[in-house]
Structures are given as C-alpha cells and as structure tokens.
Copies of this chain bind each other. A is one copy, B any other.
C-alpha cells in the first residue's frame, strides 16, 4: 500500500508554477494577479482564503483580498464582481463560498466573467469541461486527476466509481475521468444517495473516489483488493481531545481499508 501524498504534490506543483512565473516576469510580463472576495466571517472560509493568499505569495502572484461584511447585499456583491470583471489588472478571481443566506450563489457564479472564473464553476466552464474544450477546471476534481497522473496510476480502461454527485466534486470528476484523454479514459460509475446496494458498485472499483461527506462511510467490505482510493471527505467530527473541539474526518475508514489498497490518500487529521 502506498500513500498518495497530496501535500507533497502541491508543493511540487507550486515550485513548477513559481518557475514559470519567474520566466514570464523575466520576459517582461506582469505578475499574474488573483483576487478573492470573502463575504462575512465563516471560519473555514477564512482559512481557505488565507491559504490561497499564501499560495499566491509562494508562486509569485500578486493577490488582492476583498473583505465584505456579512450584511453585504447581492447587488453590492455583483457590483464588486463587475469591477473585477472589467479590471485589466485582475487575471482571475474567486468569490469564496458559502455566501450569507440572503445572497443567491447561482447569481454570483453566473456574474463572474468565465475567462476569470478560476474556480471553474461558471456554466460555460462546466460545459466546456464536459465537451473536452479548454477551460478553467474546478480545483478538487483537477487535483484528483493530477494526483493520479503524477503518481503514474493508469486510468485508461479502469473502472472508476465516484460516490457523491455534488456540483463541486462528484459530477465534474466523473465527467473529467470519462473524457477521451490520456489522463482519463476511465469507465465511470456515478453513485449517490439514491443508489441501491452501493457496495456492489464500490467493490468493482479499480479507482474509488469517495466524495459524499459521511465520516468513515467506506469500510473494508466495500473495497476490492488492490484498489486505488481517493478520499475527498472532510467532515468536522466533534473531538474533545482537540484544542478546536473537532477533527476532520474522511469518508473512508482508513485503518481497515488501507491494507487492501494499492494506493490511498491519507486520512485527514487536523
């Protein structure tokens, strides 16, 4: 069993991007400039955005963080988005989700110019992804594809079973891995809350992607010997032994599943 080390891979990718940015800048190009809009004070969102700002620094991007209050109206937010769409200094931007309940996230996603939509959530980017055209790809599914590719895990002709049909992970990764591409070409089964006899599918998986958000849901009896397991789950589970009062739990019962696998992502502990 081999661990798929996403953190080490992220470091490597950032090194590659930093080298590319350095070359661009040496050739007289401006630094890429990423902006992020954070509405309110959701603590997980604060963490995510801080990571993105830090990643920009690491690779040599300029970054701008726009903080808006929890009371921001949808119209005000759309106005900020229009400014970023029209600002030639800004190459791409994200609006951190979730948004306060008074703001419709679909309206926000649609308002972002798809050419600056680095999250890849705009329907134009989703549609182009499905059609196999160049586009911004959503981060988690693209990360999974890269994790497989850079670990030389064969995908062509393999049976990939995806559990969970979210717009952010399950649906896009199932489409990306089914594409006619050297980094894909999987036979893909998309399972979800309405799937009957789920284990009958997961036991067929050469590559199993668990993205349903139920802690330790995937147990040893659901996994084929030699499978590759990608655990996308990060659910907060109360844990009095932690300073924060919780730990992040994966969707896979790591201790019992890991010995069966050829490759598996590490269990989330934080």
**Chain A residues near B (Cβ < 8 Å):** 106, 122-133, 135, 156-157, 165, 167, 171-172, 174-175, 178-180, 185, 187-196, 201
Contact = CB atoms under 8 A, between A and B. Distances in A.
Contacts of A196: 157, 187
A76 B170 CA distance: 41
A43 B206 CA distance: 45
A179 B165 CA distance: 8
Interface core residue of A125, A127, A180 (most chain B CB under 10 Å)? A127
**7 nearest A-B pairs in the assembled complex, by CB-CB distance:** A123-B127, A126-B127, A127-B127, A185-B194, A189-B189, A157-B196, A187-B195
Q: Is chain A's interface secondary structure helix, strand, loop, or mixed overall?
A: mixed
Contacts of A171: 130-131, 175, 178
Contacts of A179: 165
A180 to B, nearest CB: 7
A178 B157 contact: no
Contact of A190 (B132, B156, B187, B201): B187
Nearest to A187: B195
B188 A190 contact: yes
A152 to B, nearest CB: 18
B126 A106 contact: no
A132 B123 CA distance: 11
A44 B165 CA distance: 38
A106 to B, nearest CB: 7
A143 B87 CA distance: 43
Contact of A167 (B131, B189, B192, B201): B131
8 contacts: A123-B124, A126-B128, A130-B175, A156-B194, A174-B178, A175-B175, A185-B194, A188-B189
